[in-house]
């Protein structure tokens, strides 16, 4: 910011960082806004890359950090050719530059439209953002319906901020969200994938999930999951997903990492199972049934949220390793243990076991197996000895059973 100022430009911190600093929280990143246009920004900084088509802006690299530097957006009236709307009113391109007074109206929520001026260390507020911030309210700037139509992703942002900040949505904002939720389906799937990562990997996944469902937004992001959830109201599907989201939030709270593929595997697992079972009912063998089901579910899902190939590959691995946990004799367990995806698949097995989808004994066995030394592991995987003596053995068994008077199933 000082560098921009030195070159004669103005520079402000804006958006999430000001909002979060006012709450005494550490901002996730810093967004800078200036009156320099992208080409001018490029000239000021050596380590600068211009990115984006819909919103052209500069990424300034400082070591491993990237600061996003945007140019003030302008009012579009006199430069219509630089702003493109589609027939639903969605902004496809928006590269009209202007002044801070114009820029403020282009921002989504009032609390995201506070500008911190390094010149005099003041916060510039044109839209009563400070009052809303104090009242912990998320209010869209301008007419909520128009603003949601312009960019339906703002509905996801509303949920994300409400959950993360503990703010409530302004009633007007809430009302139009119910009305235009479906418009979210017009957003390119790659952008929805990016947004879903932000929604579910920031430490508030469970609450976010509940709130997205409440506003009818979840079904746009995960249609096959929503179908499963609505069919089985109090069954296991909901539990597995809820547990996965809860675990993921706990991990983040403990400073551990979470992976996108694990969450997506959890989101889609029930859909895969339902389809696979239906196929097996029609006589398809288990392995093929699961593989076909996974293919179907993934190709449906990528219509809503594009999934990178490394993610779908890892999801498939986690799923396809699940039946392998049942093989506990011979060399199979030790081979499974060295599989690069073992850890994730085992965590997934635990989730299933905790929520009634897998035998808890199997999960316990694997916990013990991992702790055991080589000798113990060998013992654990020895097949039970088969009765070899034919008639005499059978007779002995029969006698023993008769003597102790136990039932078949107890033996």
Query: What are the residue numbers of the active site?
Result: 29, 31, 108
Q: Of ligand ATP, Mg ion, none, which one does residue 112 interact with (CB within 5 to 8 Å by kind)?
A: ligand ATP
Residue 63 Cβ vs ligand ATP, minimum distance, rounded to whole Å: 20
Whether the CB-CB separation of 92 and 186 falls below 8 Å is answered with: no
Could you please report the per-residue DSSP string of 164-231? HHT-EE-HHHHHHHHHHGGGGGGS-HHHHHHHHHHHHSSS-HHHHHHHHHHTT-HHHH-HHHHHHHHH
- Classify residue 7 as exposed, middle or buried by CB count within 10 Å of its CB (0-12, 13-18, 19+): middle
**What does the per-residue mask of binding to Mg ion show for 18-57, with x meaning CB under 5 A?**
-----------x-x--------------------------
Does position 16 interact with Mg ion (CB under 5 A)? The reply is: yes
How many angstroms from the chain centroid is the CA of residue 166? 19
Which residue has its beta carbon closest to ligand ATP?
A: 16
For residues 108 and 270, which CB has a smaller minimum distance to ligand ATP in the complex? 108
Whether the CB-CB separation of 204 and 197 falls below 8 Å is answered with: no
Q: How many amino acids of this chain bind Mg ion (CB under 5 A)?
A: 3
Distance (Å, whole) CA 411 – CA 289? 35
Q: Of ligand ATP, Mg ion, none, which one does residue 153 interact with (CB within 5 to 8 Å by kind)?
A: ligand ATP
**What does the per-residue mask of binding to ligand ATP show for 131-160, with x meaning CB under 6 A?**
--------------------x-xx------
Specify the 3-state DSSP secondary structure of 251: helix
Does position 107 interact with ligand ATP (CB under 6 A)? The reply is: yes
Q: Which of 79, 82, 102, 83 is nearest to 33 (CA)?
A: 102
Does position 129 interact with ligand ATP (CB under 6 A)? The reply is: no
Q: Would the CA dihedral through 219, 221, 223, 224 be positive or negative?
A: negative
For residues 56 and 198, which CB has a smaller minimum distance to Mg ion in the complex? 198
User: Which of 4, 10, 11, 16 touches ligand ATP (CB under 6 A)?
Assistant: 16
Residues that bind ligand ATP (CB under 6 A): 15-16, 28-29, 31, 107-108, 112-113, 151, 153-154
Residues that bind Mg ion (CB under 5 A): 16, 29, 31
């Amino acid at each position: 910011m000082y560098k921009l100022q030195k070159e004669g430009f103005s520079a402000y911190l804006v958006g999430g960082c000001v909002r979060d600093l006012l709450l005494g929280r550490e901002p996730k990143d810093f967004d800078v806004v200036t009156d320099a246009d992208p080409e001018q920004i490029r000239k000021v900084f050596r380590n600068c890359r211009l990115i984006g088509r819909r919103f052209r802006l500069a990424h300034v690299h400082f070591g491993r950090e990237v600061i996003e530097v945007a140019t003030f957006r302008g009012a579009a009236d006199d430069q219509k050719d630089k702003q493109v709307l589609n027939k639903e009113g969605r902004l496809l391109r928006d590269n009209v530059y202007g002044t801070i007074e114009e820029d403020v109206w282009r921002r989504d929520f009032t609390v995201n439209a506070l500008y911190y001026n390094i010149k005099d260390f003041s916060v510039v507020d044109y839209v009563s953002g400070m009052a809303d911030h104090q009242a912990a309210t998320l209010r869209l700037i301008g007419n909520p319906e128009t603003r949601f139509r312009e960019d339906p992703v703002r509905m996801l942002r509303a949920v994300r901020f409400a959950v993360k900040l503990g703010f409530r949505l302004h009633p007007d904002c809430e009302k139009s969200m119910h009305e235009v939720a479906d418009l979210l389906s017009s957003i390119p799937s790659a952008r929805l994938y990016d947004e879903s990562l932000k929604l579910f990997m920031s430490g508030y996944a469970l609450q976010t999930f509940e709130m997205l469902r409440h506003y009818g937004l979840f079904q746009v992001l995960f249609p096959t999951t929503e179908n499963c959830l609505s069919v089985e109201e109090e069954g296991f599907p909901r539990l597995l997903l809820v547990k996965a989201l809860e675990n993921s939030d706990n991990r983040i709270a403990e400073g551990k990492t979470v992976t996108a593929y694990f969450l997506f595997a959890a989101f889609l697992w029930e859909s895969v199972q339902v389809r696979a079972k239906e196929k097996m009912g029609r006589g398809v063998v288990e392995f093929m049934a699961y593989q076909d089901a996974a293919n179907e579910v993934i190709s449906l899902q990528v219509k809503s949220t594009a999934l990178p190939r490394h993610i779908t590959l890892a999801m498939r691995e986690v799923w396809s390793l699940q039946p392998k946990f049942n093989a506990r004799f011979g060399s199979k367990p030790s081979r499974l243990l060295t599989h690069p995806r073992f850890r994730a698949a085992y965590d997934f097995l635990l989730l299933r076991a905790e929520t009634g989808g897998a035998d808890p004994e199997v999960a316990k066995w694997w916990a013990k197996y991992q702790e055991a030394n080589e000798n113990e592991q060998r013992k654990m995987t020895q097949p039970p000895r088969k009765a070899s003596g034919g008639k005499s053995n059978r007779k002995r068994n029969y006698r023993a059973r008769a003597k102790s008077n136990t039932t078949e199933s107890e033996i």
